[in-house]
Amino acid sequence: MFKGILIEKDEQGYRATLKDIDDAALPDGNVTVRVSHSTLNYKDGLAITGKSPVVRKFPLVPGIDLAGVVETSSHPDYKAGDAVVLNGWGVGETHWGGLAQRARLNGDWLVPLPSAFTPAQAMAIGTAGYTAMLCVMALERHGVTPDKGEVLVTGAAGGVGSVAVAILAKLGYQVAAVTGRPQEAAYLQSLGAATVLDRAEFASPGKPLAKEHWAGAVDTVGSHTLANVCASTKYRGTVAACGLAGGMDLPATVAPFILRGVTLAGVDSVMCPRADRLEAWQRLAGDLDVSKLDLITQQIGLSDAISIAHKLIEGQVRGRVVVDVNA
């Protein structure tokens, strides 16, 4: 038996509860991991609260991230005792995830835990930080370098935004952080933001083209915010889009793309190829100031995850939430 959060849906309704789960209930997989830490991402909050149909198979353990140690393996790349990390691949959506003390998985989904990080630090980064690194890599691939000008990060006080600000600042970019929580200005400046802007400046319908301002941007919000960011991006600038906290719509025109050559680069972390995952985690080991993780992170026990998930969806959580599944 092991403890885990189990989401069930039946005639009694949709519910997430912390309970003891029999090992025999674990799904198929060629690697069994003894989980030490997981996280709460926005997607996990949606899954636990049922606010969006994230979970597509019941019953299911949520948690799109995990870090732990291999217990048993028939996969050629892993043996008992190996420290591993998992992000995405539908885990926590269609396959049992990391918010439990044990997980059984496809070994192809795992990556070795970088020696620069403890399991707790790896989960302080989690899918949010790994996605932020993928966004930075997308900006770099499209020629956005620190000398090109200011870079914008929307949803900056959230998990992806916080890590993106920290990475970009360490790499020498001048970062403008957008948030709807003005009380977080000092926090964002401590991560390296040079400027903190009110999200109200971006959240309403704007002009098809605005004054050129940003060399690049990381957008976690979508909707009018993304449209306004694209409209105010400099000639041949790039916007890396990875989130939809403000909505799935994109009420924009083609003007920024055909008149200024702006690139809108989509960033997906769930099905991202293994080579890019390995590169992102290697980059994080060098390009993220590990000391910033303490500023970004709060740690909770598994028993607190359900209540914190509700706060996360309500926009009441700053930065990253690490879950010690054994606490």
- CATH code of the domain in which 54 resides: 3.90.180.10
232 domain-assigned? yes
User: Could you give the CA distance from residue 133 to residue 125 in angstroms, rounded to a whole number?
Assistant: 10
How large is the average pLDDT for residues 290-302?
93
Whether 185 and 312 map to the same domain: the answer is no
The H or E element containing residue 235 is strand 233-241
Whether 95 and 144 map to the same domain: the answer is no
Each residue of 4-35: b (16+ CB within 10 Å) or e? Answer: bbbbeeeeeeeebebeebeeeebeebebbbbb
Residue-wise pLDDT for 120-165, tens only, equals 999 999 999 999 999 999 999 999 999 999 999 999 998 899 999 9
Residue 315 is predicted with a pLDDT of: 84
**pLDDT at residue 318 above 90?**
no
Whether 259 and 142 map to the same domain: the answer is yes
54 domain-assigned? yes
User: In terms of Cα–Cα distance, which of 42, 81, 39, 2 is closest to 304?
Assistant: 39
Name the least confident of 43-47, 126-130, 259-263, 316-320.
316-320
Whether 258 and 314 map to the same domain: the answer is no
Whether 134 and 108 map to the same domain: the answer is no
Rounded to a whole number, what is the largest CA-CA distance in the chain?
60
Whether 59 and 144 map to the same domain: the answer is no
**pLDDT at residue 52 above 90?**
no
**Residue 245 confidence class, pLDDT cut points 50, 70, 90:** confident
* Mean pLDDT across the chain: 96
Whether 156 and 42 map to the same domain: the answer is no
Share of the chain above pLDDT 70, in %: 100
Residue 267 is predicted with a pLDDT of: 98
184 domain-assigned? yes
How large is the average pLDDT for residues 223-240?
98
197 domain-assigned? yes
How large is the average pLDDT for residues 249-255?
97
273 domain-assigned? no
Residue 277 contacts residue 87 (beta carbons within 8 Å): yes
Whether 303 and 241 map to the same domain: the answer is no
CATH number for the domain including 151? 3.40.50.720
How large is the average pLDDT for residues 87-102?
97
Whether 97 and 137 map to the same domain: the answer is no
Domains held by the chain: number: 2
**Residue 177 confidence class, pLDDT cut points 50, 70, 90:** very high
Whether 243 and 301 map to the same domain: the answer is no
How large is the average pLDDT for residues 212-235?
98
Residue 319 is predicted with a pLDDT of: 85
How large is the average pLDDT for residues 314-322?
89
How large is the average pLDDT for residues 1-9?
97
What is the residue range of 47's domain? 2-113+291-324
**pLDDT at residue 36 above 90?**
yes
Torsion of CA 305, 310, 312, 317, to 10 degrees: -80
Q: What is the pTM of this model?
A: 0.91
Residue 316 is predicted with a pLDDT of: 87
276 domain-assigned? no
Among candidate residues 266, 283, 300, the one where a domain is terminated = 266
Residue 260 is predicted with a pLDDT of: 98
275 domain-assigned? no
320 domain-assigned? yes
